[in-house]
A and B are shown apart, each in its own frame.
Chain A
Amino acid sequence: MSTSADRHEAGSRGGGGGRRLGLRRLALLIAVAAIAVAGTREIAELRAYRESVVASEALTRRVPLSTYFDGIRGTLMDAPVYVFDSGAPGGSVLILAGTHPYEPASPTMAYVVMENIEVSRGRVFVIPRASMSASSLGMLGNAYPAFFRVKTPWGEKKYRIGDRETNPLDQWPDPFTFVHYPSRQNLAYQDSRNLNRAFPGRPDGNLTERTAFAITEMIRREKIDLTVDVHEASLGYPVVSTYVCHQRAEEMCMMAAMILSAEQFPMKTETSPKTLRGLTHREIGDFTESFAVLMESPEPFIDKFVGPMTEDLMVTGRDEFEQTAADRGLLYTDYNIKTGASIDYRVARHLGGAAEIVKQMGEFYPAKRVSASWPTFAEVMQHGVGYFLHDPSKADGRRVFFN
């Protein structure tokens, strides 16, 4: 409500006073607009930036996800699918990465696989950025950097950090409540933009649901035997350092977790709850013939109680508050600030975890055996992730791609 003094002041202005007032407001507007543009420059850069990958010589084809469902063609969600086909009969595996981009050990693991894979039996499909749109913004309210860098023998490689949900520039507005299809389970409104709450997807749904449908269609048409959805989790989340498996994949997960825990690194296993809808480990298992497995590595960066969310925290995973939580027994996995949970360790875990579950599928179902190799847990721990990433400027241009 305006006061009589305000009205009197406004009413008494005119001529030079009015011009001065107008100039002051214009100057203020220009100043704030300049700050806004400067502040959003990094956001615009993040949306435009494309990550390079030098695919291994085992690459046989690269197709857009819209090949399997036309409803996402022309959108940012039309992610590339990389296929490594040995030509020899065997099973088929999908490595689904970047479902939640702010868990970046996932796409980084996919890039290490793509740059180094050798396949002698069966087929391996890799989607390194399942949610391209979600990788094009940061999380609202979390002031963290847009990018992180991996040191390599030839320089630095820059990767997007991104968010968890589809960018509102691509899908907006959110509903009051998101009703999952087809279970009709009510979920939080922002889950309408969460790819890992949208499976199995629907062809006439929102963009996120259509993307989930395209991935599900790809799994059906390509007869994928094993889907490995790669994620990261906060250390205060019970399923960290865990395989979460559809009940049909339960036994192979248990065997893989036991072997990993005995020989390489601690790994738990858990069966996908039947009432938790929309996630890959539930819906891919229910709506396709594929075995569905989700892997979580420990990512201190996304714990709610850590200190500043810096690039250093993303890369090293060292945080004093995380250590305090560990000392008080509040975490669901081991943590030591001296070693942290570096990007090398997290990517190495995923590489080892994926290799072991693929191996176990072959043990349980010999006809579905896939013989593929990529850097091991021990190799990445010894040399670091950067050692396995190649220089795009010196590679054969036909094998260099941008995501």
Chain B
Amino acid sequence: MIISEHTKKTKRQEKIAKGFIWSFVVLTIVILAWIVLYVLFRGFYFRNEVSYDVTNIKEQQIVLNEEIEPVVFIVHPKVRVKDLTSEDLSTIFTKKRKEKWGPYTRQDLRVETFILQGGTDFTDSVIDFLEGPEQEINKYATTVPDIDSMLKKVASTRGAIGFVPASALENTDFKVKIAPIRRISAVVHPSVKEIVNNIQMQELSTDELERIYRGEIKNWKEVGGIDLPVKPVLPPDDVPYSVIKSNLLPEGEFGPEVVHADSFDDFCSVMKETPGAVGLCFYTDVLEKGEELSIEEIGRVESGMNLTIHYLIEAPARSGAWGGISTIIINTFFLIIFTLIFSTPIGVLGAIYLVEYAKQGRMVKILRLGTETLAGIPSIVFGLFGSIFFVNMLGLGIGFISATLTVTMMILPTIIRTTEEALKSVPDSFREGSLALGATKLQTIRRVVIPAASPGILTGIILAVGRTVGETAVLIYTLGSNYELVRGPSSSARVLSLHLYNMFAEAISFDRTFATGAILIFIVLLVNYSTTRMIGRMNKMAGN
């Protein structure tokens, strides 16, 4: 192969340069994929680390003492509860105001509490458990005479919560859901929480707790604490404490270091006197024993589906913290419709003038320049303008009219540009053919040109829709933030983009922010897909 040194050198340079180009291309593709997938992933699946005063140990049947049956807490099937802490339970039954399920399940649903008629050992024990040392069952609780009516009421009342003996569920036809309860807390000797050299024990994870009791973790420094040996303690084997042991490690594979207390008092004194000690008991014990025991927070991972059908169907509450986003989706839909009603005629007909009628001279240049300039104006300037002019000066107020007018101005260039392209790509032979048959210019435009250009025109409209849905800065001060269903042409109404920003800026719920984001991404994907199909169809019609 005849090849000079210099040519070899330039070919090498070429390889390196092209390599860089390839890596930038790959980078761009990765960025795109990452953004889309990241938002979709976090929109569909949430994963948070939350700490509680109780461990993750869930009990479906609660053994309160040895004399009565275990109690089961039941809720109406529509209550989307995963589990409740004993503190939650207490609050639900004793809070001085009517409680809602929001803080527990994010549902905008009133809690309806039911209690069995007092007098039996069973009911009295449960009420005791619910009331704790200082509270009382509130006035909102409904009393039911017997177990059957309890089951009936809970199964049929939305948002209901009540309790029955465990055996009552074995043969019943009533459809109720069991709410597992978490009431077991971890307590530590004060030495564990000391600060030495800026190190202090923070929360323990559920996994770490288990490993401590298996004997795998021997020193507090292994879990972020100070250098102090771990002394795990367990409460006695008698009821009700036996459930603690059996639920923590069902196989009973406790480490050799674990101290098994003989009685509850023994447990408390070991806890008080052994540095590095960690033990498990009921949350209510801690409340009752006052300062003797101090709670170690246990963290667990809560994950699950984020964007669910429920989210799409339910109406929002508490500024979006509870409920869903149904009204917001509908508001968005209305905004799109209104904006299209205004902007499509102006845009399409204006473009028709520019392409079909105007003499290609100074005037057309000015009109086009105007469109290009309008396209470049930042959205916040539109927002500023709309907010002062439409909202204040014209007195249209914050609402759909102001927003529609402002957004129309903003997306006009998009529609005009794409319609112009579409009209220009219609071959002149179509027009000439129609005119030669004796049709007027208007008829030609209406019957021949517009249908031929329709995929392109539709593309412009779809793109305009995409921009409207994604716009935020313009809408903040013209559309407002009322998240209920829009009531009229001048009522304020939150749309998807505003909702996302609101929940983010006010830190209401990051999970839901991403869920809303996922919906927005879907709309963008849909817009993109439709325009690609439209353009494909346009090319086919032009014979490409």
Judge: A and B partners, yes or no. Answer: no
Could you tell me which A residues sit within 8 Å of B by CB distance?
none
Could you tell me which B residues sit within 8 Å of A by CB distance?
none
